[in-house]
Structure 1
Amino acid sequence: MPPFARFTILRTGVACLALLLAGASAAAFDLQGHRGARGLSPENTLPAFEKALRTGVATLELDIGMTSDGVLVVSHDPKLNPDITRGPDGTFLAGPGKALTAMTLEELRSFDVGRTRPDSRTAKSFPEQTPVDGTRIPTLEDVFALAERLGAKDVRFNIETKSSPAPDAGTPEPRAFATALAKAIDKAGLGERATVQSFDWRTLMALKEVSPDIPRVCLTSEGNFDTLQRGKDGGSPWLGGLDVDDFDSVPALVTEAGCTTWSPNFRNLTQPLVEEAQEMELAVVPWTVNETDDMARLIDWGVDGLITDYPDRARTVMAAKGLPLPAPVAP
């Protein structure tokens, strides 16, 4: 073989290896756009998901509920949220609206979720959010179709089942919910690009039975919203029959639940917990991290990803830390 040919092959091989390593590194840090990009566009809407994709994320994080006619729709709240919902007459709801489970998709489509009520806590929390009037609550299928249409062939979907063990929650029955979601993921051919997360681990355990190959993400929260409920007689109803007091740590609890990823409230996380979870082969992806100082600290701790309302801020921090950035979808 002539020397120039050997050099060409070597150079090509090195280039290919570099690309492979770069791709592996990029995949190693999971930048997730929370509810699309809630800090920039109306939450859980097609404009928010497009904004996240145009900004550049590895994963779209989204919430789902179910209508009375069995359609999976993308919404954080089990009832229409008056801070972000206007009726057909264009005025914001006076109070919490009907439960999603009490409305058909056609009924739900009559509401506008394209801007926040100006005097609401939501509006004050997200002053950079750009309204998009006329925006409707999308179906899960709509979100899958958007990513396909925009050519986002590698983006992943982290889908949260908005379920609650409270008897008056008005959320879908866990097994029916998990079954419907598994069917939707399979129909879209996204089994290798989807994870399912929940605070209500009953849905995760049902999903394990219905479709064990779909990776599951255990969400946890301690504080005002406490899903672990340490010391509670009989354990927390959020944990699907497990009791945190039976385990040495939360990562051990998550491992027993069969999740591959632990997503805690970032305020509940410590570096030793990150290290312990990763020693148990759990990925650690905290929520919802919006301030750059917090992002930088968590990256330094070695977390596997971040869920954030501001993927643009996270990209700036990632770049400063030398992490490869997910490619934005081209206009």
Structure 2
Amino acid sequence: MKTFVLLLSCFCLSCANVQKPLDIQGHRGARGLMPENSIPAFMKALEESVTTLELDVVITKDKQVLVSHDPYMLSGICSKPNGEPVTKEEENGFNIYQMTYSEVEAFDCGSRGNARFPEQEKMATMKPLLSDVISLVEDYLDKNSLPKVGYNIEIKSLENEYNVSQPEVDEFSELVLGVIMERLTNDRFTIQSFDFNVLKHLHKAYPTVRLVALVENKEGVEANLEALGFTPEVYSPYYILLTKDDIDLIHKKGMKVIPWTVNDRKDMERLVAEGVDGIITDYPNLAKGLRE
């Protein structure tokens, strides 16, 4: 009997120490390897066994939800329909919120590559619709009998850009959720934003939607939560600003902590050892086996 009790105690202790799976999120798909926020980037991320696809959305003139980090065509990566690179002086003139999707899809944002990511494969690719990304990803998972992945979708919003390169917070949120909720259950996605006005609106209007507070300031966890006014599902800071004490505090307050954007294996290993729940990275290939 004593032997049985001892074995049972050891078993329970072992169960208590089992770590939950680490959430590996492919940033903008797999920006270090493929053109950002493109169909090829998302497919590459799936090949690298991510558990979540991280992506950004903006709105076109005809109210389409477009997967893009910026509401303007960036000179560093995009080319005009005639093949000429977008110049820095032209960027503001290519305001996606003032362009229809048919106009947007004529731009190539992959052939020139990205100087910041020399390993990124150069290929012609356009900015896709969120609806198309979800459909193609889900088809790929089904056809290859792969487990479902999550979607961490950032609403790219800035207060000084309301009605300039984006709609107001409520309309923006409704357009995005209108696409998502037709295709995914609540457990399959999170909505993140640096704009706390977005998160406050969603918390009130859609209380069952899981929210992520993106942070890149030095105000600290307590001050940011006070500014937000509620406790989100996930606290997601720039990894450089994150300490072990922060991680412990975030967990104590009932949130997960998933830092961005971690592109060095040693940094990944350190953060995992300190207790983060996930990693957002441009290089999901570097994150394999982090908890093995």
Common fold: TM-score over 0.5: yes
Whether 2:203 is the aligned partner of 1:208: answer yes
How much has 1:189 moved relative to structure 2?
A: 3.0
Per the alignment, residue 130 of structure 1 pairs with 121
Q: What is the letter of the counterpart of residue 241 of structure 2?
A: N
- 3-state SS in 2 of match to 1:172: coil
- 3-state SS in 2 of match to 1:219: strand
Once the two structures are aligned, what percentage of the paired residues are identical? Answer: 37
- 3-state SS in 2 of match to 1:272: helix
Q: What is the letter of the counterpart of residue 156 of structure 1?
A: G
Note if contact 1:182-1:207 (Cα within 8 Å) is conserved in structure 2. no
Specify every segment of 5 or more residues in structure 2 that has no aligned partner in the other structure, as ranges.
1-14
Note if contact 1:178-1:207 (Cα within 8 Å) is conserved in structure 2. yes
How much has 1:188 moved relative to structure 2?
A: 0.7
Distance 1:36 1:263 in 2: 17
Q: Output the aligned Cα RMSD.
A: 2.0
How much has 1:101 moved relative to structure 2?
A: 0.6
- Give a deviation string over 1:234-277, Cα, whole Å, max 9, x none: xxxxxxxxxx7xxx824643773331100000011000000010
Distance 2:228 2:160 in 1: 25
Judged with a 3 Å threshold, the aligned counterparts in structure 2 of structure 1 residues 179 and 147 are, in CA distance, closer, same or farther, namely same
Specify every segment of 5 or more residues in structure 1 that has no aligned partner in the other structure, as ranges.
1-20, 223-227, 231-243, 323-331
Whether 2:21 is the aligned partner of 1:28: answer yes
How much has 1:205 moved relative to structure 2?
A: 1.5
How much has 1:92 moved relative to structure 2?
A: 0.9
Distance 1:147 1:131 in 2: 21
Q: What is the letter of the counterpart of residue 140 of structure 1?
A: L
Distance 1:287 1:89 in 2: 36
Judged with a 3 Å threshold, the aligned counterparts in structure 2 of structure 1 residues 182 and 131 are, in CA distance, closer, same or farther, namely same
Distance 2:65 2:23 in 1: 25
Per the alignment, residue 285 of structure 1 pairs with 258
Q: What is the letter of the counterpart of residue 101 of structure 2?
A: L
Note if contact 1:147-1:153 (Cα within 8 Å) is conserved in structure 2. no
- 3-state SS in 1 of match to 2:122: coil
Per the alignment, residue 140 of structure 2 pairs with 150
- 3-state SS in 2 of match to 1:31: strand
- 3-state SS in 1 of match to 2:269: helix
Note if contact 1:285-1:307 (Cα within 8 Å) is conserved in structure 2. yes
How much has 1:171 moved relative to structure 2?
A: 2.2
Judged with a 3 Å threshold, the aligned counterparts in structure 2 of structure 1 residues 255 and 164 are, in CA distance, closer, same or farther, namely closer
TM-score, normalised by the number of residues in structure 2: 0.86
Distance 1:217 1:304 in 2: 13
* 1:1-331 → structure 2 map (5 Å cutoff): 28-95=21-88, 96=91, 97-116=93-112, 122-123=114-115, 125-133=116-124, 135-151=125-141, 152-167=146-161, 170-222=165-217, 249-250=222-223, 252-253=225-226, 256-316=229-289, 318=290, 321-322=291-292
Q: How many residues align?
A: 268
Note if contact 1:178-1:210 (Cα within 8 Å) is conserved in structure 2. no
Distance 1:305 1:187 in 2: 27
Distance 1:157 1:254 in 2: 26
Note if contact 1:254-1:262 (Cα within 8 Å) is conserved in structure 2. no
